[in-house]
Structure 1
Amino acid sequence: MANNENHGAVAPAPGTAPDQGRPGRHVPERKCILTGEHDTRASLIRLALAPDGTILPDLRAKAPGRGAWIGVDRAALETALAKGKLKGALSRAFKTGDITIPADLPALIEDGLRRAALDRLGLEMRSGAVLTGSDKISEAARRGRLHLLLHAADASEDGNRKLDQSLRVGQDAEGSDLRGVVIPADRTILSMALGRDNVVHIGVTVPASAVRVADALGRWCGFIGRSESASALRNSSAGSIGAQIEK
């Protein structure tokens, strides 16, 4: 069984996601109602007020009307919900105390982010941007054609290590700690998402697809507290050479 620590780095994905910004382009920011910190829309989660006063996650940030933004992980959100801090912050943001917060709001957000990430993988698979199978991934990695390398949560350490080495060869980064990212989905979940049998490793060969996948997975990993994976995925989305994780 693989170590589920989410060490990781990813191959470069030239270009950036629309919400992550490009040189010379202003990226709008929003403020987290719980921490007061500012960040990009892509890094925060929008909460919307339904007509009946229910607070619901608006993960695509498309719902009409006013919204409130949060930038905390699930554990912090659950604490804020239990202590009443979330209700107070939302009441101020929406200028009304007549709101209902579902007790399972953190679970609704996590489930939505998980579905969005897995759906994105499936879409990119159907577009031809995703490779599965260790041999195909290794060959593409050694040729420098991978822009994102992912490992299932239950992938073997040996399998991860071999593909990570192929990645370093292709990126001319031998001797570094450049490696793929272990994501919080096992091979059964990934196989269902991609419509393939026994998906243990995933390689993304198209830069724009790698950015979209990294964005979706990074939001999910960040919310569930997998900070190292989230950081590595954000670096990929921003077009970085890849995060080097200190041992």
Structure 2
Amino acid sequence: MGGDLDENQEIDREDEAERGPLRRCIVTRDRAAPETMVRFVLSPDRVLTPDLSARLPGRGIWLSARRDVLETARTRGAFARAARGQVVVPPDLADILESGLLRRMMETVGLARRAGQVVCGFAKVREWIAGGRAGLVIQAEDGSPDERTRLLSGARDLPVAEVPTAAGLGAAFGRDHVVHAAMSHGELARRFRVDNERFTGLSGRTVPGSADRSAGRV
């Protein structure tokens, strides 16, 4: 009984904490900035629904953006405990999250393109890097490894984000495929990087160049 009381008190504190600057992961119990985590809400029929923009009404359920944490929550009833009742967890929840974050990233590229804050192609990206205009480099995972490495030579202080395919990145530019892109410093680059880090964590990928570029400015 004491354990149940403690858990209920903790849930009550989390209800209050959702109005504060940090959120607590229901699995790891770590607290972090909301934009680095994933928020879920329940639909009227109690289906667990990702809220990647953290704007949907209702009490939020927060999770660290990591594949192992997601699997633990899904298989060990953490969502139901946090929701204080039955929850329908979509069997393809990981795919829903990955596709949603990938869509958000490509939408951000589209916004940056219309604002003149992103370029693509090896030569243009190298020009932006050399001129100090690049705040973030974006590369397609299925591009030539040698070419991707050559592009980044001399740019170790720049953060790098990876997307799965050149075709997907190309679509954001209205092209068949794009392997290299660069985004200027600013809010759109920051937004892309945050979503890319969530995408990377939830897909189980390794953040590219994290050891060398983690301190890079966006």
TM-score greater than 0.5 by the shorter chain: yes
Between Structure 1 and Structure 2, how many residues are aligned?
197
Runs of 4+ in structure 1 deviating by more than 6 angstroms, as ranges, are none
> What is the identity, as a one-letter code, of the residue corresponding to 1:211?
R
Task: Report the CA distance between 1:201 and its aligned residue.
Answer: 0.2
* Aligned counterparts, 1:74-223, within 5 A: 74-82=67-75, 85=76, 87=77, 89-95=78-84, 97-165=85-153, 167-168=154-155, 177-178=156-157, 181=160, 183-223=162-202
**1:152, 1:224 → 2: CA distance?**
15
Indicate if the aligned counterparts of 1:222 and 1:230 stay in contact, CA closer than 8 A.
no
**2:35, 2:190 → 1: CA distance?**
12
Task: Report the CA distance between 1:185 and its aligned residue.
Answer: 1.9
Q: Which runs of 5+ in 2 are unaligned?
A: 1-19
Task: Identify the residue that residue 66 of structure 1 maps to in structure 2.
Answer: 59
**1:195, 1:46 → 2: CA distance?**
31
**2:210, 2:203 → 1: CA distance?**
13
Q: Which one scores higher on RCO, CA 8 angstroms, separation ≥ 6?
A: 1
Indicate if the aligned counterparts of 2:135 and 2:158 stay in contact, CA closer than 8 A.
no
Moved more, 97-106 or 61-70: 97-106
Structure with higher helix content: 2
Indicate if the aligned counterparts of 1:187 and 1:199 stay in contact, CA closer than 8 A.
yes
Task: Report the CA distance between 1:142 and its aligned residue.
Answer: 0.9
User: Normalised by the size of structure 1, how large is the TM-score?
Assistant: 0.71
**2:98, 2:158 → 1: CA distance?**
26
CA RMSD of aligned residues (A): 2.4
Percent of aligned pairs with the same amino acid: 35
Indicate if the aligned counterparts of 2:94 and 2:202 stay in contact, CA closer than 8 A.
no
**1:105, 1:39 → 2: CA distance?**
22
Indicate if the aligned counterparts of 1:218 and 1:229 stay in contact, CA closer than 8 A.
no
Indicate if the aligned counterparts of 1:45 and 1:69 stay in contact, CA closer than 8 A.
yes
Task: Report the CA distance between 1:105 and its aligned residue.
Answer: 1.8
Task: Report the CA distance between 1:212 and its aligned residue.
Answer: 1.9
> What is the identity, as a one-letter code, of the residue corresponding to 2:147?
G
Q: Which runs of 5+ in 1 are unaligned?
A: 1-26, 169-176, 243-247
Matched, 1:47 2:22: no
| 1:164-199 Cα shifts (integer Å, max 9, x gaps) | 12x53xxxxxxxx44663513221111112212431
